Amino acid sequence: MLPFFRKHPVKLHLSEVRVLPRKDFLRHLEGGFFGKAPDNRLAAELKDVFAYPFAADVPAPSDKDFAIDVAIEGHSRGGWGDLSGGDLAFPIVWRPKVRISARVYNLKSGQNRAVLRVVERMSWSEYLSLLGSWRVQLGLRAPADRQRMLRLVQTAGHRLKSKIEDKVL
């Protein structure tokens, strides 16, 4: 292969992982596990998915060193309710979902290389089977518990990681 067609190796480093506070209307209807404060367990799960060396540990960055900032922009654990007025009532149903974005930039110059986003939702069949539980119907349990939300974050993180590696590497 000719040398000018060869890709040069790139090193990826993890810079920051954070969960942005929720500002949507549905957070008032969900309450509980995902209140107004960001959930650091989701960020810890993403750090496990993006197992790159930390950008702060690079003593002298080169042009081949890229850093990744990962943020959970939005998350919802799902729910149901109704909008009623008089004799009319409209059901409202929303599935659990996680929206994650990543900014890839050159560690030396700070120039952006890519901004990527991934949205992962629970399937309708799984969600509707969870809504049928008597604990969910009585309001004793959320439709998506902590383990299911962490699994959604993990799946979305793996999809985003593969998109980053396809785009950058």
pLDDT tens track, the chain, 169 positions? 555 665 668 889 999 999 887 776 665 566 554 445 567 888 899 999 998 999 888 888 888 899 999 999 988 888 777 788 888 888 888 889 999 999 999 998 989 999 999 999 999 898 888 888 888 777 777 778 888 989 999 999 999 999 999 988 7
Task: Tell me the pTM.
Answer: 0.82
Contact between residue 150 and residue 45 where contact means Cβ atoms under 8 Å apart: yes
CATH number of the domain at 9-168, out of 3.30.70, 3.40.50, 2.40.50, 3.30.160? 3.30.160
Domain parsing of the chain, residue ranges: 9-168
Q: How many residues are there in the chain?
A: 169
DSSP of 11-77: EEEEEEEEEPPP-STHHHHH-GGG-SS--HHHHHHHHHHS-PPBGGG-SS--TTEEEEEEEEEEEE-
